[in-house]
Each structure stands twice: as structure tokens, then as C-alpha cells.
Amino acid sequence: MAAVTTLNAKNLETLGAERLAVLLMEISTGNAAAKQRLRMALAGAQSPLDLAKTVRKRLTTLATAKSFHDWRGARTLAADLNAQRTAITETIAPPHPDEALDLLWRIMALAAPLFSRYDDSNGDIFAVLQQACCDLGQITARVRPTPDALARQVFAAITTNDYGQFDGLIELMAPALGPEGLAHLKRLVVDLSNTPVPRPAKKDRVTIGWATSGPIYQDDMAERSRQHTVQTALKDIADAEGDVDAFIAQYDQETRRVPTIAAQIAQRLLAAGRAPDALAAIEAAIPRKPGRHDFPVLELEDARIEVLDALGRQEDAQKARLACFERSLSAPHLRAYLKRLNDFDDLAAEETALKHAAADSNLTHALQFLISWPAPDVAASTIIQRAAELDGNIYEVLTPAAEALRPKHPLAAVLTLRAMIDYTLSHNRTTRYNHAARHLQDCESLASDITDFGPFESHQTYTARLRQQHDRKTSFWSLFD
């Protein structure tokens, strides 16, 4: 049973309304965000429409403010903005969807003024706008505006999508647009593509940058932006209408050979029941010599495997899965390959695959795979056999490897820790001294579990050598000692 002092809603109820009100006033003093939440709660208690007025007032304030803020201010604003969004969707929308829809469009209109004043490098504000965009699709489906009016509204949004806040809007609005609205939106986009862009006289052109080919002009960038908007919109409309050929038509023949584009085309053809056409699109794009960690090629291979399965070519699909694993040590491809093998065959195949991973030319990639699989026994033996190849700079791989190995493979864990210690000290990475000192302490702790260091130095010998080689690094030794 929870203690009566545990902070939860039930325990707080025992304080009574009057005492809670006093506490809330004390807590909110000097806290603008808390005061804003309390005002919204009070307005919501009166009626959803009163809350709508409070939200509208706050959004107007955000739109007209002039001050600039760093990433901390962006995080605070994102919390405020999300509180407004939550109030709209949870309190205002159920009884008044029209009012909620108007407020959500107002939130989306804040993108330009907010991004011009806030450092949103962490993406906090953008994440709220993305969620608000999703909310738009859900509430619009309830309101059901006329198809033509909604098409014009969506068109206005995607043509002012300067910050990507309206990415995916057509897909979200497709149910509410329906066939009539999508057709009207398509006409608007086509008209935009056919509208000539006025070109200033040569002497009046504005240079906004330089490339190897020469100056980059403002009107050229505007034209590229327009073409991108048109192409993206027509692709999204084609997807919403289930028109695969219209989607493909947005790419010229050469672009269709790009692995990521070919994969997208193949997936849509496969979904439309056109597996042979999907395979043809893939085979026209597969590079002759795919790179080891060429992720676009892996994406294309995934599409190819799906198509081969759909065509009943399971043996070829299995060969492709195994080839993807052998080339890139892709765990998902190996798991999919093993899953489709007969009973007991998968055990032998897994053992062979782990040996292949252990022998990989890049030890870091091998360890990353073996630890995540997980295969700690194989990882430990690989470290002991190839200790000289350990790259102590790749701490994001070696640190979790050492943690995974220390319970049953202390020697391998120690060798992994030593690699990071040696790199830190030999390269004078003073910012890592604290970590290196902790690693050396871990080595000392693990040494008692190692009965035989084999060809490697004992902990005492290793530590003595470090003190001799790096005796002047007093800041490190003070941390360790």
C-alpha cells in the first residue's frame, strides 16, 4: 500500500479543495507556465467556449510577440504550445469541433513567427506542430467541410510549407477531401505548375549564394521550390487516390533508377498487385557492386525480397536475405532468414552466421552485431583473438560491450575497457579522463574474477605500465587514486 505522503491524485484529494487551492497559488507564484495552465483549467471549468477564448488569446499573443529566445526558451514555449493543443483536442473539440478546427489552423499558422524568433534546434516546437497537423486531419474528418473549400485550404497550406510543418497534410486530409476534394486539389496543383514564374531583368536579379557553376539567384530558388511543391503534392495525391502510374510519372527515367526511388515505386506496384512490374523497377536500379553499408541499397533489397516472396520465389528471397546479412551484418535480415528455415537447420545456420560476423574485417561492426544479437560468448572470444584491433575511440560500441561481457567474460570486458583507456591517454583526450579513470577502476574490480590473463598483461603490470608511460597526466591519476 502506498504511503499517505506519496504524491498521487488520491492522496492529494485528502487535503481538501481549500488547502489545494492555497498550495496551487503558492506553487504558481513566479511560474508563468503554471499560471497559464490554471487559467485554462478555470476557463474550461466554466465552459469549453470560454476555454476557446483563452486559447485564442494566447495564440494571438504568441503570434505577435517580438522577443528572441534560445533553445531553452523553445523548450518552454513547446510545453506551453502543447498545453494549448491538448486543451483544444481534449476539451474544446468534443462539443465544438468547428471551433477546435479553427484553433488548430491558428496553431499551424504560428510556424513562421515562432521559428523566426526561437532556436528550435532540438525540434521541440516542430514536434508540437507535427502533432497539431495530425490533429487537424482527425478533427477535419468530423467537421466535413465542403470538398472545394477544404481543397483550397490544403493548397494554401502546402504552398506555404516553408518549415515542413505541413508535411504529410494531404495524406492526413485525404479521408475528409474524398475523391471530389482530391480532384479539385489536383487541379489547383497542376494550375500552379503551369503558371509561368515572372523573371526579373538580368540587372535586377538577386544573388543569394554561390555554387561551383556560378551565382545562385533568388528567382531560381523560388522556381525550384515551386517545382518541389508541385511534385510532392502530386505524389501525395496519387498515393491518396491509389494511382501508382501517376506516382511514377513524377520521376523521369533516370531518377527511377535511384535505389530509394525504385524501392518506393516497387512497393506501390506490389501493393497494387503488379509484382512483375515491381521486380522490373527494382532490377533496373540495382547497382552492380553494392556497398557494404549502402543503406539505400538495403532499402531496395528489402523491396526486392518482398516482391520475390509475392512471386512465389522463396528460395531466391532467402538467398537475398542471407546476402544482405553477409554484406552488412544486418540482424533483421538474418532473423528473417533463420525464421524461414526448417527445424534444427536454423541452429546450424545461426552458428555459421555468427562465425561470419566474428570474422568481419571491421571489428567494431562485428562487436556491434554480436552484442546486440546477443552472442556474448562469440563476442568475448572475438575480442580475445583480435584485441589488437580494438578501436578505443568508438566508446559508443565498446562501453555497452564491456557492460554486457563483464558478468561471464571478465577478461574480454577488461580488454575492451583497456582499449578505451589507452586511446584516451595516448591521445590526450582530457574530457574523457573521468570515464577512463572509472574504466580503470572497473578493470581493478574485474581482475579478481580472472584466473588467467593468458598472453595479456595482469592488472598490476598494466597499471604499472600506464603510470610509467603517462606519469605526467596528474589530473587523470588524481581521478583514479
pLDDT tens across the length of the chain (481 residues): 456 667 677 766 776 777 766 777 777 676 666 666 666 666 656 678 888 998 999 999 999 999 999 989 999 999 999 999 999 999 999 999 999 999 999 999 999 999 999 999 999 999 999 999 999 999 999 998 999 999 999 999 999 999 999 999 999 999 999 999 999 999 999 999 888 777 777 777 777 677 777 777 676 677 788 899 999 999 999 999 999 999 999 999 999 999 899 999 999 999 999 999 999 999 998 665 555 545 457 788 999 999 999 999 999 999 999 999 999 999 999 999 999 998 889 999 999 999 999 999 999 999 999 999 999 999 999 999 999 999 999 999 999 999 999 999 999 999 999 999 999 999 999 999 999 999 999 999 999 999 999 999 999 999 999 999 998 988 999 988 8
Residue 458 lies in a domain: yes
* pLDDT for position 298: 79
Same domain, 387 and 306: no
User: Which one of 288, 310, 340 terminates a domain?
Assistant: 340
Type of residue at 469:
Q
Q: If you ran DSSP here, which 8-state letter would residue 91 be given? A: I
Same domain, 298 and 378: no
Same domain, 380 and 461: yes
Q: What are phi and psi of 140, to 5 degrees?
A: -60, -35
Same domain, 366 and 478: yes
User: Which one of 340, 369, 399 terminates a domain?
Assistant: 340
Predicted TM-score of the model (pTM) = 0.75
Neighbours of 313 (CB within 10 A): 16
Same domain, 388 and 325: no
Least Cα distance to 304 among 289, 291, 323 occurs for 323
Residue 397 lies in a domain: yes
Same domain, 302 and 415: no
Residue 129 lies in a domain: no
* pLDDT for position 10: 74
Burial level of 304, CB count in 10 A (0-12/13-18/19+)? buried
* pLDDT for position 12: 67
CA dist list (Å): 407 to 54, 75, 381, 398, 460 = 58, 40, 15, 15, 21
* pLDDT for position 481: 82
Residue 211 lies in a domain: no
* pLDDT for position 23: 72
Q: How many CA atoms lie within 13 A of 358 on its CB side?
A: 20
CB neighbour burial string for 225-238, b if at least 16 within 10 angstroms, e if fewer: eeeebbebbbbbbb
Same domain, 377 and 463: yes
Between CA 420 and CA 46 the distance in angstroms is 62
Residue 224 lies in a domain: no
* pLDDT for position 462: 95
Same domain, 452 and 403: yes
Q: Which domain holds residue 443?
A: 361-481
Between CA 302 and CA 325 the distance in angstroms is 12
Residue 227 lies in a domain: no
**Residues 6+ away with beta carbon under 8 Å from 342:** none
Residue 221 lies in a domain: no
Q: What are the cell numbers at 190?
A: 497542376
* pLDDT for position 3: 63
Between CA 341 and CA 393 the distance in angstroms is 39
* pLDDT for position 130: 96
User: Which one of 310, 340, 370 terminates a domain?
Assistant: 340
Same domain, 420 and 480: yes
* pLDDT for position 196: 74
Same domain, 381 and 447: yes
* pLDDT for position 302: 93
What total number of domains does the chain contain?
A: 2
Between CA 81 and CA 58 the distance in angstroms is 9
Same domain, 285 and 367: no
Burial level of 104, CB count in 10 A (0-12/13-18/19+)? buried
* pLDDT for position 299: 86
Between CA 354 and CA 377 the distance in angstroms is 10
Residue 428 lies in a domain: yes
Which residue is associated with the grid cell 572497473?
442
Same domain, 373 and 480: yes
